A and B are shown apart, each in its own frame.
Chain A
Amino acid sequence: MEGVLPASWCIVWWLLALPFLALGIRQLRKVLDTDRETLPLLSVTGGFVFILSSLKIPSVPGSSSHPTGTGLSVVSFGPWITTVVGGIVLLFQALFLAHGGLSTLGANIVSMGVAGPLIGWVIYRAFRDTRLNPYTTVFLACVYADLFTYFVTSVQLALAYPVGGFWTAFLVFMAIFGITQIPIAILEGVVLSLVFKYILQLKPDILIRLKVFSEEKILATRSDSDALQIPA
């Protein structure tokens, strides 16, 4: 879609993205300074954004699209650190893949790195302290972070090209992105909650220290599935 977004909108989205990037970098420094053991977890969550966003998955209406992979990072580190992680992945794609160029990088950071993660985080926070199973909570956060990313992409395109009015254009773009994205988002949610299960089994202490879920909940979930512990 390189070059599709007009220059003025590129600037608007860049300006919107920058404060969140700055906030994320500050939070990231703080987290890494206080606890070096968070670095491996950050690498895993970032690694999955790299893997998942590189895959173009064929989907329902005979088109294909990428997952975003941001949900795991959102649950572990919150939305703004995810902005930085997503920004790095998007920069890689902009530099080497012409996949959303440098000029549209700002818009992509806003949709995949700010808006999607924010909604994923809201969902996660809403369910974190309820009786809902942590895996289900992670699943929902991942699904919504993915879906809302494309929701915002549609908003961005409709704002730039409001042919027939904003809402008409928005629905046109949602029809293109939305249907393709739903099965992909569900798949992404399942995969990432599975990854979360393995993190919870191998390194529950880091999840407890970061207060991803309450200690009781993490330990209860673990003992629930204690039998399946990977033998050390």
Chain B
Amino acid sequence: MLSRYRLEILAIISVLVLSILFLGMGNGKFTGSDDLASAQISKMTGIPQEQFRPVVWQWVPPSPEVESALFALQAAIGGIIVGWVFGYWKGLKGRDKG
């Protein structure tokens, strides 16, 4: 029984361990590592972050709320595709068995 769900159990354990680590870092702000790197670059070069401009024009989400909505949209698109295909495969399998 346990060996059947070995991978599932491993997955749950790794999520739990990461969550515990996450809770243990209560003082962290969880800034994106890419933002940290941008800040680091501006510290190293002495160029203020606001002066970094994309080479070509770039649309920027007007607020963090809009940004997270778009990220959620991205995940939703992926989720729908994945769910659809697994359903398709499962349907095929049932049909084969008659």
Contacts and interface: CB of A to CB of B under 8 A. Distances in A.
Given A2-B60, A60-B25, A227-B4, A93 B10 contact: no
Interface string B59-78: 11100000100111011011
A157 interface: yes
A169 B31 CA distance: 20
A8 B82 CA distance: 38
Contacts of A186: 14
Interface stretch (A19-27, A95-103, A117-125): A95-103
A198 interface: yes
Nearest to A172: B40
Contacts of B70: 96-97
A30 B56 CA distance: 34
A57 B85 CA distance: 26
Interface of chain B, helix or strand or loop or mixed? helix
Interface residues of B, number: 59
A193 interface: yes
Interface residues of A, number: 71
Nearest to B81: A47
B86 to A, nearest CB: 7
Interface in A183-228: 183, 186-187, 190-191, 193-194, 197-198, 202-203, 225, 227-228
Interface of chain A, helix or strand or loop or mixed? helix
A228 B45 CA distance: 57
Given A10-B55, A58-B22, A135-B7, A63 B36 contact: yes
A185 B36 CA distance: 19
Interface of B: 4-5, 7-8, 10-11, 14-15, 18, 21-22, 25, 27-38, 40-41, 44-45, 52-56, 58-61, 67, 70-72, 74-75, 77-82, 84-86, 88-90, 93-94, 96-97
Interface of A: 1-4, 7, 10, 40-41, 43-44, 46-65, 89, 92-98, 100-104, 135, 157, 161, 163-164, 169, 172-173, 176-177, 180-181, 183, 186-187, 190-191, 193-194, 197-198, 202-203, 225, 227-228, 230, 232
